[in-house]
Structures are given as C-alpha cells and as structure tokens.
Amino acid sequence: MKSGEAMEAGTAERELYTLAQAYQDISAGTEPWVALNEFLHEWFEYAKDQRSQLIAERIPAGDSLEKREPALWRWAVFCAATADWLCEQGGVQRSTWADDPVYTLAAPWYCFDAPGIAKPHVRDQLKRVTPTPFRRRNIIYGDRIFVTKYAFAQTHRTQ
C-alpha cells in the first residue's frame, strides 16, 4: 500500500512507506527515484513525527549481494547514506544499521551523467560538494540531489 492510500474506510491509520520498503520496491524492479520519492514524501510531509520508524529497518547488506547484483548493491548503499544524511539534517537519531561500514562502495559511483563527468576537475568539484554521508560511502553526485520542494518552500517562506 502506498503512502497516500487509506487502510480502511473510516480509519485514519495508514501504512508507512519506509526506506526499507522503498529499497524492497527497487529490488522488485521499481525505478529507484520513484521509490525514493515516495519515501521522501513520508519523511518531509506525511510522517514527520515518525521519522525514526521510517529508517528503523536495516537494508539488506553483504558480499553476496554486492557480487551477485552490483547495481542493486549501489542502491542499498545509497539508502544507508540517505538515512544518515536525512537524520543529520533533521536532527533525528540515526539507526545503528546505517553506521555499519559495510555500506560503502569499493569504487566511486558518479550517480548522474553531469556534463563533463569524465573530466577530472568536474569529478573533483563533485567530490568537494557531495555531503559527507554520501562521499564517505563513495557515492559522488554533488550537493543538489535532495533539493526538494519542501526545502525550497522552507527557504522561501515569507515572514
């Protein structure tokens, strides 16, 4: 059940769309950014008061996943970095699973096809501005991946 659907008519409760659920959906073939977008709606809007629960469940990890499905492994590491970064930004205590050093890529992953991404000076610039929770896990993308409508609205609210 997705975050916006009611569980039953007449009840206010609904199922949370956790980071673990987003990863599970990615594993099942959902486009990663679609699943992560659903999760981010939970984090920033629908379940702001339940953030610890949104990241509580460990994302599967291990050598077998890394070797068997390297593309999926990248997204597992990305989810760990996301949990770490969101908690850092939102003042939420991190889940211990996200601190596990197993969630580190062996080689840098430049997530996006940024113009000039093959050029060393572009890669160096991206490394400099990528937030620490991602950079220390070898996920390099720059500083704009989580510029959300929520962050934009917060920055541009009239006083």
**Interval 33-89: pLDDT, tens:** 999 999 999 999 999 999 999 999 999 887 667 777 888 999 999 999 999 999 998
Residue 144 has pLDDT above 80, yes or no: no
pLDDT of residue 152: 52
Of the given ranges (55-64, 73-82, 123-132, 142-151), which has the lowest mean pLDDT? 142-151
Task: List the domain boundaries for the chain.
Answer: 19-155
Q: Give 93: exposed, middle or buried? Use CB within 10 Å, 0-12, 13-18, 19+.
A: exposed
Spatial contact of 13 and 7, defined as CB atoms under 8 Å apart: yes
The band of 159, judged by pLDDT with boundaries at 50, 70 and 90, is: very low
Q: Which residues lie below 8 Å from residue 135, measured CB to CB, with a gap of 6+? A: 127
